[in-house]
Structure 1
Amino acid sequence: MEYDERLARFRQGHVNPFDRTESDGTSDRKDPPKQEVRPELFFTETKHQISDRTMDLGLAEDHFSRPVGSFVASDIEQLEQTIEEYKKQILELPEHSERQKDTVAKLIHLRLKLQELKDPEEDEPNLRVLLEHRFSKEKSKSVKQTCDKCSTIIWGLIQTWYTCTGCYYRCHSKCMNLITKPCVRSKVSHQSEYELNICPEIGLDKQDYRCAECRAQISLRGVPSEARQCDYTGQYYCSSCHWNDTAIIPARVIHNWEFEPKKVCRSSMRYLTLMISRPVLKLKEINPLLFNFVEELVEIRKLRQDILLMKPYFITCKEAMEARLLLQLQERQHFVENDDMYSLQDLIDIFNGRLSCSLTEIHTTFAKHIKLDCERCQAKGFVCELCKEGDILFPFDSHTSVCHDCSAVFHRDCYYDNSTTCPRCARMTDRKQEELEELAEL
C-alpha cells in the first residue's frame, strides 16, 4: 500500500519517484510540495543499491510523454544521461540475473525512444522514383536490415525505410536524397554481360587513392579509410561501399571451374544477384576446352540437345499442349531455345549435381509421353530404311543417328556402315529430277 500511495502522489504532484531523499518511513499523507524535476537524471540511486520497486516501475509509466506539445532538446539530453546510467548499472549487476535482464530490456526501450525523438516519423509517399530506382515504402518491422547508404541499422519499428523493387537497394527515408548510385537493374537491362577477366586489378594509383564508387579517400593502411578490393571488378572501395559480402565470380567458374565465393562490393553483389539467372554465357566460345575436363557439362549438353529434338513433337501435339509439358522448364526457358547458352545459376547447379538430376527426370517424362503415352507422337517415329528392322526410332534415342540434310533417323551402326547416300535424300533427289524433266517436256 505504501508503494501505491507514493506512486499516486507522484502522478498527482509530478514528484520524481526515484528521488531517494524522501523518507521511506512513516511520513504524513499531506501532498508534498512541488519539487523541480532534476534534469540531469531520472534517478540518483547509488550504484549498488537498486530497489526492486524502482526496477518494477521501468518504462511502463511512460515518463517521457507530455500532455501537449512535442519533445524538446532537454528530453533528448535526459534520455542520453539515463541511458548512460543504465549502462553502468548493467555492468555492476550480477551476470544473468533477473534484475540485469530487466535493466537490459529497459535500456533497449530507452534507446528506441531516443531514436524516435531524433528521427520522428513523417508521412512519406508509398512510391518514390530516384536515379532509376523505384522505391517502395516498406511495412516490415524487422530490425535486421541495414541501410545501403549510411551503413547503419534500420529500426523498422520507428523508422520509415524504402526498398528498390529493381535492385533491392535499402535505405532510410532520410538517406534517399543522398543516394548517388543509379539502379543496377538498368545496367543489367542495357549491358547483360559479365566481366570475364579474373580480378582485373588496376591499382590504387589509377584510382587516385579514392573509392571507385563514392570517391572517398582510401589506402591499404586504413588511413583515412580502409581500401577493400572487389574480386569481380578488381577495383578498391571504401568500407561504406564494400561490406565484405561474398559471391561466386563468373570468370573464375568459366576459366578455372572454381566456385569458392570471393569478397565483392555492394554494387557488384547486386549486379551478380540480378544476373545469376540470365543465360549470357556461351561456353563453347569462351572456353570450349571446359567440356573436355567436366563430364557433367557433356551430360547436360546431350540432355539439352535431346530436349530440343523433342520440342517439335510437343508443339504439334494437342495433348502435350494441354498438359503444358514444356512448362516444366519455365525456370530455364533457354533450354527449349538453344543448347549452348548457360546462366551462372546453371553452372552452379551442375557443380552441385542438382541440374543433372532434375533435367534427367524431365527428359524421362518427355520421352515417356512421346514413345508410350501419346499415339500421335508415336506415329511420328521413324523406321530404319537401311535395315528395315527393329522398333520405331526417334531422333533423341541414344542408339540412333540423324541425317543432317533430311532429318531421317537410322540405327547408328547402319548409318555409319552404309557407304551409300541416305535413302530418303536419294529418293527426294530422284523426285525433284522427275519434276524437272516433266517441266522440260511441257
Structure 2
Amino acid sequence: MTMAGVLANDSPKYRNSLICCSPRTAEIGSSPPSSSSTSGCVSADDSYDSSYIPKSIANKKLKIHASATKEEVERAILQCKELILSSPQCSDERKWLVRYLIELRLHLQDLKDNNGQIRLAVSLKGHHFEQQTSTGNRKQYCDHCSGVIWSIVQGSYICTDCKYICHYKCIDDVCRVCAHVIMTEKGQFEMNICPEKGLASQDYKCAECHTALTFKDAWNEPRLCDYTGLYFCTTCHWNDQSAIPARVVHNWDWEKHYVSRIAFQMLTISWNRPYIDIERINPRLFNFIAELEWVQKMRRDLEWMRRYLCACSNGPSLLHPLFIQLGDVNKKYSMAHLQAINDGTLETQLRELTEVCRSHITNCPLCSGKGYLCEVCMNNEVLYPFDSGAIMCEKCNSMYHRGCWLRKRQKCLKCLRIEERKRSGNDTDTADANNFEYDIDKFVD
C-alpha cells in the first residue's frame, strides 16, 4: 500500500479530501453529549478565532508556554493583574485579561499540585482535560493534528465537557475553544441557513487554526461548514455529518450536512438543550407539520396540568423529566424533541403522560375541586382548561362547553355582567366591597 493510502486510512483529515460539500460520504457516528455543568474560563464570541488577542495588549508578551516554570507563571499573573486595573471597564481588553488570569491561576495550581510531573488534569481554552487511562478497543484520532492516538505508547487527554481528544504532545498547541463554553455563553443555535461569507472574508485562512487555504492543494482544500458558514482546513473539518437546526426550523429538512469539528461538538453537546423557540422564529411551521401542531397543543395542556399538580401534595411525583421539559412555560424545543416528533416517538410518550396526569387530576379530591362549571347549560359536568371539549374566556377565565359557547355567539356571560355593572355605575361599590373583604392587613394590629 502506498503512503497516501496509509494516511487515508489512519487520519480522518484525508477522508473524502476531494469533496468539499457534496453529500456522498458515509455518516460518521456521534458521541454521547457531555453532562458536565462546568462552563470553563475562556469566552468565545460569534467568531471562532480562539487565538485573538486585543491589539492594545498584544505587545505585552503575556502568552506563556505550557512548559513555563512556576516563577514565570507567577510573574505573568502579576503583570496580568496590573493590566486589568489599568484597562477600561467592560472593555474587550479587560474581559480577555480576566479570563486569561483565570487560566494562569489554574496553570499555576497544576504546577504546585504535580511538582513538575505529568499533569493528570489541564485547564486550557475553556477545556477541562483529563488524562485518558483506558480507551478500550475503539480507534481514536487527535482533534488537533488529526493523527491516530496509539494508546499503548502515546499519552492523551480528553475534555470532560466537549470530548475533545488530543495527544499529550499536542496539549500546548490546542487552539479550539471548548464547545461547551461556546454554547453555554450563546444559549442558542445559529438560525441562519449556512451563513456563508466567502473565503475572502477569512483572508483565505482556516477559521480555526488560520492555516492558508488553497484549491490547488487537494490535501488541504477548504471545506465549508454548513452550520457556521465558515471554511476550515482538513485538519479542523473531518466531514462529520449532522442535521442543521436552522434547516429543520425553517424547512423541516432533516437531511444531514457536512459540519466542522467544532460545529459537530457544539451540536452534539446541545442536542438535548431547549434552545429553539419556534413560535418566534417560524410560527408558520405549525400549519405545515401536523405532528408539531399536536405536540404544541399537548404542551399547553401540560402547562395547565402542571399548575394543578404543583398545588397538590401527591402531584410532584408525576413531574418526571419529560413533563418538566415540555410543560415549561418557555415553550422552547430541543433538537431531540423535534427529532422525536419527526420519528413519531414523542407523540406516544406525550399521550401516555397526559392520560396519567388527567386521571390523577379528575380523581384527586383536591385537584378536582378546582374545576369549572358551564354557566350556560348548568349541568354537573366539571370542566378543566385542558379538556378538548371546553373553551376558556381569555378575559375572565370562565369555562364553557364549546357547543354552549357557540350558541351564545362566543360571548362570555360573566363578561357581559361585568360590562352591565359598569354601565349602571355599580362597579365602584363592588370594587370597594372586594377590597374590604381581601385586604387583611387592615384587621392586623
Quote the residue 2:442 is aligned against.
none
With normalisation by structure 2, the TM-score equals 0.66
Q: Deviations over 1:234-271 (max 9, x none)?
A: 22211100011111111111121110111111011111
Q: Deviations over 1:111-142 (max 9, x none)?
A: xxxxxxxxxxx952322111111112222142
- Secondary structure of the corresponding residue to residue 298 of structure 2: helix
- Secondary structure of the corresponding residue to residue 234 of structure 1: coil
- Secondary structure of the corresponding residue to residue 320 of structure 2: helix
CA drift of 1:193 comes to 2.2
Amino acid at match of 1:401: I
Quote the residue 1:204 is aligned against.
199
Quick one: which of 129, 132, 143 aligns to 1:138?
132
CA 1:153–1:375: 2 relative to 1, 3 Å: same
Quick one: which of 316, 322, 329 aligns to 1:329?
322
Once the two structures are superposed, the pairs formed by residues 43-54 of structure 1 within 5 Å of their partners are none
Q: Does 1:160 align with 2:155?
A: yes
Could you tell me how far apart the structure 1 residues matched to 2:208 and 2:410 are?
A: 66
Could you tell me how far apart the structure 2 residues matched to 1:183 and 1:420 are?
A: 55
CA drift of 1:174 comes to 1.4
Could you tell me how far apart the structure 2 residues matched to 1:319 and 1:214 are?
A: 56
Quote the residue 2:313 is aligned against.
318
What is the percent sequence identity of the aligned residues? 37
Could you tell me how far apart the structure 1 residues matched to 2:241 and 2:395 are?
A: 49
Quote the residue 1:388 is aligned against.
378
Q: Does 1:244 align with 2:234?
A: no
Quick one: which of 351, 373, 378 aligns to 2:342?
351
CA drift of 1:363 comes to 1.0
CA 1:226–1:410: 2 relative to 1, 3 Å: same
Q: Does 1:258 align with 2:248?
A: no
CA 1:139–1:288: 2 relative to 1, 3 Å: same
Could you tell me how far apart the structure 1 residues matched to 2:379 and 2:240 are?
A: 62
With normalisation by structure 1, the TM-score equals 0.66
Q: Does 1:413 align with 2:406?
A: no
Quote the residue 1:230 is aligned against.
225
Q: Deviations over 1:267-301 (max 9, x none)?
A: 11111112222222221221122111111111000
Report which stretch shifted further, 348-357 or 192-201. 192-201
Amino acid at match of 1:132: G
Amino acid at match of 1:134: H
Amino acid at match of 2:281: I
CA drift of 1:378 comes to 1.5
8 Å Cα contact 1:301/1:339 also seen in 2? no
Q: Does 1:183 align with 2:178?
A: yes
Amino acid at match of 1:162: Y
CA-based RMSD: 2.4
8 Å Cα contact 2:391/2:400 also seen in 1? yes
- Aligned length, in residue pairs: 314
Quick one: which of 246, 267, 283 aligns to 1:288?
283
- Secondary structure of the corresponding residue to residue 170 of structure 2: helix
Amino acid at match of 2:265: R
CA 1:437–1:213: 2 relative to 1, 3 Å: closer
- List alignment gaps of at least 5 residues for structure 1: 1-121
Amino acid at match of 2:379: E
CA drift of 1:428 comes to 6.7
Quick one: which of 259, 267, 280 aligns to 2:262?
267
- List alignment gaps of at least 5 residues for structure 2: 1-115, 435-445
8 Å Cα contact 2:298/2:350 also seen in 1? yes
CA 1:377–1:438: 2 relative to 1, 3 Å: closer
Could you tell me how far apart the structure 2 residues matched to 1:404 and 1:418 are?
A: 16
Could you tell me how far apart the structure 1 residues matched to 2:122 and 2:409 are?
A: 71
- Secondary structure of the corresponding residue to residue 342 of structure 1: coil
8 Å Cα contact 1:308/1:338 also seen in 2? yes
Q: Deviations over 1:297-328 (max 9, x none)?
A: 1100010000011111101101113xx11124
CA drift of 1:185 comes to 1.5
Q: Does 1:399 align with 2:389?
A: yes
- Secondary structure of the corresponding residue to residue 356 of structure 2: helix
8 Å Cα contact 1:212/1:237 also seen in 2? yes
Amino acid at match of 2:129: F
8 Å Cα contact 1:310/1:366 also seen in 2? yes
- Secondary structure of the corresponding residue to residue 297 of structure 1: helix
CA 1:383–1:207: 2 relative to 1, 3 Å: same
8 Å Cα contact 2:275/2:333 also seen in 1? yes
8 Å Cα contact 1:328/1:362 also seen in 2? no
Amino acid at match of 1:283: I
Could you tell me how far apart the structure 2 residues matched to 1:148 and 1:415 are?
A: 63
Quote the residue 2:67 is aligned against.
none
Q: Does 1:366 align with 2:349?
A: no
8 Å Cα contact 1:218/1:224 also seen in 2? no
CA drift of 1:419 comes to 4.4
Could you tell me how far apart the structure 2 residues matched to 1:236 and 1:223 are?
A: 15
8 Å Cα contact 1:279/1:343 also seen in 2? yes
Quick one: which of 114, 118, 125 aligns to 1:124?
118
Could you tell me how far apart the structure 2 residues matched to 1:217 and 1:420 are?
A: 68
- Secondary structure of the corresponding residue to residue 166 of structure 2: strand
> Highest CA radius of gyration, 1 or 2?
1
Amino acid at match of 1:264: V
